[in-house]
Structures are given as C-alpha cells and as structure tokens.
C-alpha cells in the first residue's frame, strides 16, 4: 500500500530561501513518479515577504496569525497532517539546509516498520557528514545526548537535528501535545519515554544559504541549562 | 514593635485595601484574584493591630527583630503570588498557542 507523505516546512522570515526549497521539492516530485511528497509550509508570522511569495507561487501554506516559534509552528503542521490523514510527516527546514533527496532514506525505517520516528543525523556516519559545526555546538549536542541517555537509557546522537520523520501514531501524539520550548530534544525524549522507537539515519546537510538559525549565540548557555533540566525532570510514563 | 511601624503598617494596609477595592469596582480585578491580595492586606492589618502575634512567631522562628519578620512575611506572600501568576501565564501561553494554531488553520481552509 502506498503511504502518503507530508513535508512540514516551518518558515519564519524565509523570503530568500522558501521558493528555492519548494522548487527543489517540485523537481524531485517530477522525477519520482510514485513517491510524491505533499508540502505544507507553516508561515510563522513572518514580517518579510514570505507570505506573498507563498501565495503568488501557489505553494500550500498555513499562515499563523502571530509568531509562535518553531515548536508551535511545527505542531500546526502535525495537526494538519493528522486532520488530512497522512501516514508519514517529515519536518523539513525552509532555509535550504535539508536535502529532499534524503527524505526517502529518512522514511525508510518507518516504511519498514522498524521505527516510529527517524532523525536525520549529522553524526551517525562520519563519512557522509560534511556538516561543519563548531566545537561548542558539538559539545552542546553531546551533553543533551547524555542527558537523554541518562533519562531513557537510549543513545541518540544528533539531538538537535530538525530533519525528522514520524509515523501515523506519532503524528497523532504530536498533534495533541508538542513541546513549545526546545522542541527537538524534548520531543525525542518524550517519544523514547513513551516506548516508541527512534532510528537515526545519516544525512548530510547544506550550509545555511541565508536567514538566521533560531538559536542565537548569547542564548546558548541558557538554552543548554533549560534543555538539560527539562529532559532530566520529564515525567516517566 | 515600635508604635511608628504599627502606624505605617496600618496606613499601608488601608491604602492598599482602597486600591484593591477600587480595582474590583472598576472591573479591573476579578474577585477570584483579589482574594489573595485581600488576605495579604488582612495579615498586615492584623500585625498592625495585634503585634503580640508577631512576637510569638518571631521567637518561634528565631527572628532577631520583629521588623525582620514583617519583611519575611511580606516576601513570602509576594513569592507565593508570583509563583501562582507564573503558572497562570504558562497556562495562558498554551491556550493562546492553541488559539493561534486553530484560527490560522481555519483561515487556511476558508481561503
């Protein structure tokens, strides 16, 4: 049976990237006859021309009437996926960091019934990872990874990757409740605590072409403390 | 406790009472949330009228002076109110998020 796949693309002030991202997905769909990906862009109250670009190019989108931040935006995508009965939802960045050609590999463990959620990881296989990240960032990610290991007993390497796919069961779960703060590591922990399975799939990511990362430098220490505490204090089911 | 402090506390609780009552009558403060403030005002008023209570407490909890205990009590009340307010804000943030999501999705459907 063919599974329906939805790419959820959160976009906040992405006027310089969003059209390119969409065009690449369209190109992919043109070549792939069977496994077409649906798209929903969640415009997170952008103040630039993101919305008019989406409207003029007939890109399917939901415009949030106010800025919610990445967690609230992505959850809107999961709600949309749930309402429209999609089998698989993929979180996909609007800034050109993620490559649509990796989506098939990313969703494979879900199609095979081996995982409820997959994470596009920059660490699992060193050879395929061209992602250059700073030392501080790697340390931060591995600290979060350790916190998750302590809490759940399972090692997840790339804890902050925003390139991930979930199955129907998880779509329903995320549609109902999704962490608004620090969504990636917290949702990962939540999944593991609910006894669902996570698989990491090696992917390579592009450098950011434009736009700004949602984690601003001076907030990093504060971010780390918050994430670690939240993970360690999460309720076991 | 000095007579001066008693007078100050008395005036303080009276002025505060007038302000809170005024807010309630102008519909700016729901009774539900004003109760905790009324309770705080009542305690300060009680201290001003019967300072003996304080002496017993100050001895029991090891406060050196009664004025320290007064500050301690005020601080505790304020912290409790702030904690409740923080919880309230967190809950409202969730509710607002839900509203924004649902309204935005409805708008998309009706496009």
* CB < 8 Å & 24+ apart, contacts of B15-23: B16/B41, B16/B44, B17/B41, B17/B45
Judge whether A179 is closer than 8 Å to chain B, CB to CB: no
Chain B contacts of A75, Cβ < 8 Å?
97, 101
pLDDT number for residue B20: 92
- Separation of alpha carbons A179 and A74, rounded Å: 10
Greater model confidence, A136 or B40: B40
Using CA coordinates, name the residue in chain A closest to B96. A68
Return residues 79-108 of B near A (CB < 8 Å): 93-94, 97, 100-101, 103-105, 107-108
Chain B contacts of A83, Cβ < 8 Å?
105
Distance (Å) of CA B51 to CA A189, B16, B36? 54, 19, 22
Q: Which residues contact A108 (CB under 8 A, 6 or more apart)?
A: A201
pLDDT band at A128 (very low <50, low <70, confident <90, very high): very low
pLDDT in tens, B5-58: 889 989 999 999 999 999 999 988 888 878 888 888 888 888 888 888 888 888
Range of the domain at A196: 5-233
Helix B66-109 vs helix A70-83: crossing angle, to nearest 10: 40
pLDDT in tens, B67-99: 788 888 889 888 988 998 999 999 999 999 999
pLDDT in tens, A81-115: 999 999 999 999 988 889 999 999 999 999 999 99
pLDDT band at A129 (very low <50, low <70, confident <90, very high): very low
Return the percent helix, strand and coil in chain A, to nearest 5.
45, 15, 40
Question: What total number of domains does chain A contain?
Answer: 1
Specify whether the CB–CB gap between A148 and A154 falls below 8 A.
Answer: yes
pLDDT number for residue A167: 95
pLDDT number for residue A108: 93
Q: Looking at the complex, report in whole angstroms how far the Cα of residue B90 sits from the nearest Cα belonging to chain A.
A: 11
Q: Per the CB < 8 Å rule, is A68 touching B107?
A: no
How high is the ipTM of this complex? 0.82
When pLDDT is averaged across residues A170-197 and rounded to a whole number, the result is 93
Q: Looking at the complex, report in whole angstroms how far the Cα of residue B102 sits from the nearest Cα belonging to chain A.
A: 8
Q: Looking at the complex, report in whole angstroms how far the Cα of residue B105 sits from the nearest Cα belonging to chain A.
A: 6
**Residue A171's domain is classified under what CATH number?**
3.90.550.10
Q: Looking at the complex, report in whole angstroms how far the Cα of residue B83 sits from the nearest Cα belonging to chain A.
A: 18
């Amino acid at each position: 049976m063919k599974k329906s796949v939805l790419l959820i693309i959160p976009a906040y002030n992405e006027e310089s990237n969003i059209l390119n991202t969409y065009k690449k997905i369209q190109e992919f769909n043109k070549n792939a006859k069977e496994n077409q990906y649906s798209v929903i862009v969640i415009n997170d109250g952008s103040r630039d021309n993101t919305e008019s670009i989406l409207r003029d190019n007939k890109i399917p989108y939901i415009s949030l009437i106010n800025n919610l931040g990445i967690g609230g935006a992505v959850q809107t995508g999961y709600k949309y996926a749930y309402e429209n009965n999609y089998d698989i939802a993929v979180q996909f960045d609007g800034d050109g960091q993620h490559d649509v050609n990796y989506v098939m590999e990313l969703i494979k463990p879900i199609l095979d019934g081996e995982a409820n959620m997959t994470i596009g990881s920059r660490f699992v296989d060193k050879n395929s990872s061209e992602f250059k990240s700073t030392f501080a960032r790697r340390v931060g990610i591995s600290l979060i990874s350790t916190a998750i290991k302590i809490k759940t007993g399972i090692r997840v390497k790339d804890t902050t990757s925003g390139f991930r796919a979930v199955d129907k069961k998880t779509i329903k779960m995320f549609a109902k409740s999704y962490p608004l703060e620090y969504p990636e590591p917290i949702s990962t922990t939540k999944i593991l605590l609910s006894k669902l399975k996570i698989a990491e799939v090696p992917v390579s990511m592009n450098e950011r072409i434009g736009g700004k990362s949602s984690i601003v430098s001076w907030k990093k220490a504060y971010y780390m403390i918050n994430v670690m505490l939240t993970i360690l204090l999460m309720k076991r089911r | 406790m000095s007579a001066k402090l008693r007078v100050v506390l008395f005036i303080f609780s009276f002025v505060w009472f007038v302000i809170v009552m005024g807010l309630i009558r102008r519909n700016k403060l729901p009774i539900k949330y004003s109760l905790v403030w009324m309770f705080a005002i009542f305690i300060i008023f009680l201290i001003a009228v019967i300072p003996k209570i304080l002496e017993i407490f100050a001895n029991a909890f090891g406060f050196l002076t009664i004025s320290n205990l007064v500050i301690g009590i005020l601080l505790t009340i304020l912290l409790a109110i702030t904690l409740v307010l923080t919880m309230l804000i967190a809950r409202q943030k969730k509710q607002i998020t839900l509203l924004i999501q649902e309204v935005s999705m409805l708008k998309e459907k009706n496009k």
